[in-house]
Structure 1
Amino acid sequence: MAAKRIVKSSINWAQLAERVPEHQRSTYQAFKAKSDGYLRKVLAYPENPPTIDWSHYKAKVPVAGMVDDFQKQYSALKIPYPPDTVSSQIDALEKEIRADIEAFNKESNEDIAKYKKELDHLNSLLPYSEMTMEDFKDAHPDIALDPVNRPTFWPHDGTDDLENERRIGSDH
Structure 2
Amino acid sequence: VHRYPETLPAIDFAYYRSRLSTPAMVDEFEKTYKGVTVPVPKDPGNLKAAIDAQEKEAMEKTKAEVAEIQGMIANAKALLAKIDSVPPPEEMTHEMYADYFPEQARNPWDKPTFLPHTPDAQPGNDPH
Q: TM-score, normalised by structure 1?
A: 0.43
Is residue 52 of structure 2 the alignment partner of residue 52 of structure 1?
A: no
Q: Structure 1 residues 89, 120: CA separation in 2 closer, same or farther (over 3 Å shift)?
A: same
1:124 matched to 2:85: yes
Instruction: Select the structure that is richer in helix.
Output: 1
Residues 1-172 of structure 1 aligned to structure 2 (within 5 Å): 4=2, 6=4, 47=8, 51-52=30-31, 80-84=39-43, 85-146=46-107, 148-149=110-111, 153=118, 162=124, 165=126, 168=128
- Evaluate the alpha carbon distance shift between residue 4 and residue 114 of structure 1 in structure 2; reply closer, same or farther with a 3 A threshold: closer
Distance of 1:161 and 1:93 partners within structure 2: 65
CA-CA distance at 1:155 after TM superposition:
6.1
| SS of equivalent to 2:64 | helix
Shift of 1:104: 0.9
Identity %: 27
Q: Name the count of aligned residue pairs.
A: 102
Summarize deviations over 1:113-155 as a string: whole Å, max 9, x none: 2222222222222222211222112101123344653856366
Name the Cα RMSD after superposition.
Answer: 3.9
User: In terms of Rg, which structure is larger?
Assistant: 2
Any stretches of 5+ residues in structure 1 without a counterpart?
A: 8-46, 54-73
- Return closer, same or farther for 1:145/1:51 CA change in 2, 3 Å cut-off: farther
Distance 2:47 2:119 in 1: 67
Q: Residue 51 of structure 1 aligns to a residue in which SS?
A: helix
Residues 4 and 112 of structure 1: CA distance in aligned 2, closer, same or farther (over 3 Å): closer
- Unmatched 5+ stretches in structure 2: 10-28
Counterpart AA for 1:165: D
- TM-score, scaled relative to structure 2: 0.55
Q: Go from structure 1 to structure 2 and tell me whether the alpha carbon gap of 1:114 and 1:128 turns closer, same or farther (over 3 Å shift).
A: same
